[in-house]
Amino acid sequence: MGIRPRATLTDDAVTALVSLWLIGGLMLDAWAHSNRPGLESFFTPWHAVFYSGFLATAGWVAWVLWKQWRTGRRGLAAIPLGYGPTVLALAAFALSGVADMFWHTIFGIEESIDILFSPSHLGLAITMCVIVTTPVRSAWRDPSPGTLRRLWPALLGTGLAIAEVMVFLEYGNALLMRATWIVTGLSSTENNSASMLAVRMLVTNAALLLPLLFVARRWGLPPGAATICTVPLLVLSGAETGARNMSTLLSILVAAIGTDLLAQALRPTAERRWAFWTFATVAPFFTWSLYLGVASAAVGNLPTIPELWTGAPIVAAAVGLLLGALMLPGGIGTEGADPGRKDAGVSTPDSGPGVASTTG
């Protein structure tokens, strides 16, 4: 079967950029469904951008495989490490796209929350997540240091995955809220407005924090990692609302930059578990304090229920600590080494430094 090759940094970079085309088309489609009511056709300009992004991605991955084929590799040996699931996902995406066309032909175009639960759309969602995280899986096999130069395709792929997941968790996206809605939501316990906003904040908190903890645990967080991972979700959230929530988006952008500064100060890694746990706690507290503070400043007054606006960032921080503890429950040592890290102590054919695998 042969030893599987590693993709080059250029391969991963182009994969991330064509994935940006794919997710950009998804964002356009999300904008259309949110701002153009009465869609009645599968054949729309934004669908054209979306599916042309898929064709570009599929064509590029085929070229990556063809380059390996030309060197004499055959079968699985021609598929770079990390690209195996991508090949399967591309085929499944195509089938889901055909199914989506027939679904719309039979059942019409969804115009409400049902669009997020359509089986054909969920098929597209799952396969897209596998496709855009290709650079992450590829970088996982690379023993070189986790610098920004090496990791930016993986970070961009992570950010695109966050945005894509939040398309289908739109009902849990706190970044869609305008400042007035945030302040009003935490000013009343009637109509479940406070509960709904609290749930949105916790869902978005997990979506933003977990990928950063994943990257920190594996490589550490290079400068700009949080901002790169956050910007795609900001673009998506602005598109879905027609940019009517600019103060909210600005607060999260500033929070991402602050999170990057926090990461450089703490240097959270698998070997520095107290720094890891501190980062997992402080980052969400800072993010959601800023979220509420900017909303209050934009409206001109604080929410009227102090328990809600003072306690919400604390809850987010507590959840962050829980996620950090679950992801890194103990220290990294000889007996408790993390098998995913390049310095775990014992190399295996799939994860050891400098050793290629026939799987993945």
For residue 43, the 8-state DSSP code is -
**Domain extent listing, the chain:** 1-168, 172-331
Ramachandran assignment for 345, one of left (phi > 0), alpha (psi -120 to 50 degrees), beta (any other): left
Asked whether the beta carbons of 297 and 248 are under 8 A apart, the reply is: no
Asked whether the beta carbons of 193 and 312 are under 8 A apart, the reply is: no
Joined together, the tokens standing for residue 155 give: 């970070």
- Mean pLDDT in each 10-residue stretch from start to end of the chain (360 residues)? 82 95 83 61 68 90 91 84 94 86 63 70 90 95 83 96 91 94 92 92 97 95 97 92 92 98 96 96 98 97 94 97 92 45 40 40
pLDDT, residue 33, reads 62
pLDDT, residue 119, reads 79
pLDDT, residue 350, reads 39
How many other CB atoms are there within 10 angstroms of residue 223's CB atom? 13
pLDDT, residue 18, reads 94
- Secondary structure of 91-102 in HEC code, one letter for each residue: HHHHHHHHHHHH
Q: How many residues appear in the chain?
A: 360
pLDDT, residue 24, reads 86
pLDDT, residue 80, reads 92
CA 258 to CA 285: how far, in whole Å? Answer: 11
